[in-house]
Structure 1
Amino acid sequence: MSTRRPLPPAPEHGSVPGRGGRTLTATAEAESDEMTAQTGLSAPTTATETVSAAFPGGRRRSRGPFGPTTRLAKAAFPVLPLLVVLALWQLLTVGKVEFWLSFDKLPTPGEVATALGAQLTSGTYYQDLLASVRRILLGFGLATVVGVVTGVAVGRSRVARAAIRPVIEVSRPIPAIALVPLAILLFPTSEQGIVFITFFAAFFPVAVSTIHAMKSLPKVWEEAARTMGARRVAVLTHIVLPGAMPGIFSGLSVSMGVAWICVISAEMISGQFGIGYYTWQAYGLLDYAGVVVGMLSIGALGFGTAWVVERIGARVNHWLPRAAE
């Protein structure tokens, strides 16, 4: 009569039986004791303890290229290139360097600062700034609305694509500034002509980027929405337009820069007010410090409007994953 071999005791909770009746937990404990006896250090038993053992200092502070990154350093670092440019500008103009480029007639930073201070106390300067900003808002705003509508129509309709796309491709290579003579003939005032030129220049980046954004959308998004019973209007407003917004705002950023280039050029040619008109008048009067003031003003206005477009785009496209800074 055969006797039944008694079963080994059940392993404790969290352990796995190994060979020879030993559990993996017991094996790990034995290996840990052996390691402690040999090195005098206790072996880490968890992932957290392993990381802590490898980095005994704990979580280290992130370091930049020149040491620990602090808020003050991050704020000051973008200013360094400007200080370098100002210092180089001062050296070249004060020394009247003439090596391929002539810096003897270029105003010094101090002269430009003096001219800027004089303009900041002048009402005409602010009138010129407001005139340029108003033209940008009108031309760029119209280009945004018409460009997005045109891009959506071309991207969604074969009829619109066949009718509008050839006109866009033929008109897009024409420089907007070349339309100044026609704008003078067509519009009763120079103000309307400048706004039209700004609109013409800003329209194409918006329209083309919207068309490409429509084409790049995954078709499965629209198919899934229609499968669940969504109508065409709902698909357009809740699927297509939100999905195309990143591409549209990329075109808006480009469009804003192009709009500033063309509005300044148009103001120089046919304007009566505006920062472009001010800059050209300063050049005609040999006021080179005033010319630099105009250029810096244009750069500041362009930077500010581009920042506004970027901030609006970040809010509209808040669902996009952000890259780690």
Structure 2
Amino acid sequence: MPNLLSTRLGRRALQLGSVLACLLFWQLAASQRLDLGLVTFRNVPPPLEVLAAAWALVSSDALARHLFSSLGRVAAGYLAAALVAVLLGLAIGRSRWAESLLLPPLEVLRPIPAVAWIPLAILMFPSSELSMIFITFTGALFPILLNTVHGVEGVDRRLIASARSLGAGRLAILREVIIPGAAPSIVTGLAIGMGTSWFCLVTAEMISGQWGIGYYTWEAYTLQNYADIIVGMLLIGLLGMLSSGLIKRLGGLATPWYRLQEKSA
């Protein structure tokens, strides 16, 4: 008899069970006004109340505008960050000169949180829309960049030497050896960057936005619509999960040799 977790049905059942367990705990804690000292559920709405708030949002015309606003900002900032980060990562990973020139200032900027960029972004860009896209850009940039650098530096040097001995030039080595070898790490960075871009966008929308999931969540907090707060949080989590999953799926399709290597291992 096969192990339950080794079958797809068993894994799906376990995943569904974990979600149901979380919902059950949420229902019990909220309905009983559970107070654990450091954490209290006295003001947390139960799942049915959140479901009613979600249905009200879905039934309104505001949902589409919130979604399109957030999706557009994420797409613009993320795509720009992916292009810049991959190019910089390839350069830093392949050139000591580029590493010495580019990596120190980037490492100084990397720990700065998204909230700290908001005042400067408002001063730098003529519109709040561009400033929010910039903050999304900064959030996605560094995970993609560091994973690209790691992937490039992790390529087997013997493969590079073999390609060079066969007469391959720099562009051929980059195209045929470096990029395929670093691709799995780049895909990982792209998936992580998608999640951080949502986090940074929501932070920016809470302060500078008029439409968007982050603005909806912050407005619900200011109006003390607690169920709407959770609806906004769940929307953010769902959109982040779906978009990161899409990046992973596309990355898997783009690196079939890596999947075959995993299966053989």
Normalised by the length of structure 2, the TM-score is 0.93
2:62 maps to 124
1:64 maps to 4
For residues 149 and 85 of structure 2, the distance between their equivalents in structure 1, rounded to whole angstroms, comes to 9
1:322 aligns to 2:262 (yes or no): yes
For residues 70 and 261 of structure 1, the distance between their equivalents in structure 2, rounded to whole angstroms, comes to 34
1:145 aligns to 2:83 (yes or no): yes
Task: Give the gaps of 5 or more residues in structure 2.
Answer: none
1:145-171 C-alpha deviation (Å, 9 max, x unpaired): 000000111122233222211211121
1:89 aligns to 2:30 (yes or no): no
1:225 maps to 163
For residues 10 and 154 of structure 2, the distance between their equivalents in structure 1, rounded to whole angstroms, comes to 40
Tell me how large the CA RMSD over aligned residues is: 1.7
Structure having the higher helix fraction is 2
Larger RCO (alpha carbons 8 Å, 6+ apart)? 2
Normalised by the length of structure 1, the TM-score is 0.77
What is the letter of the counterpart of residue 51 of structure 2? A
For residues 295 and 144 of structure 1, the distance between their equivalents in structure 2, rounded to whole angstroms, comes to 25
For residues 81 and 216 of structure 1, the distance between their equivalents in structure 2, rounded to whole angstroms, comes to 36
The 8 Å contact of residues 4 and 11 in structure 2, kept in 1 or not, is answered as: no
Alpha-carbon distance change, 269 to 216 in structure 1, aligned in 2, over 3 angstroms? same
1:116-141 C-alpha deviation (Å, 9 max, x unpaired): 11111111112111111111111111
Question: Which of 214, 238, 249 is 2:152 aligned to?
Answer: 214
Alpha-carbon distance change, 72 to 245 in structure 1, aligned in 2, over 3 angstroms? closer
For residues 53 and 167 of structure 2, the distance between their equivalents in structure 1, rounded to whole angstroms, comes to 65
How far has the Cα of 1:186 moved from its partner?
1.1
1:191 aligns to 2:126 (yes or no): no
Alpha-carbon distance change, 233 to 269 in structure 1, aligned in 2, over 3 angstroms? same
Alpha-carbon distance change, 246 to 95 in structure 1, aligned in 2, over 3 angstroms? same
For residues 191 and 322 of structure 1, the distance between their equivalents in structure 2, rounded to whole angstroms, comes to 42
What is the letter of the counterpart of residue 114 of structure 1? A
Identical columns (%): 40
What is the letter of the counterpart of residue 150 of structure 2? H
1:155 maps to 93
For residues 132 and 322 of structure 1, the distance between their equivalents in structure 2, rounded to whole angstroms, comes to 35
Aligned residues: 262
The 8 Å contact of residues 78 and 197 in structure 2, kept in 1 or not, is answered as: yes
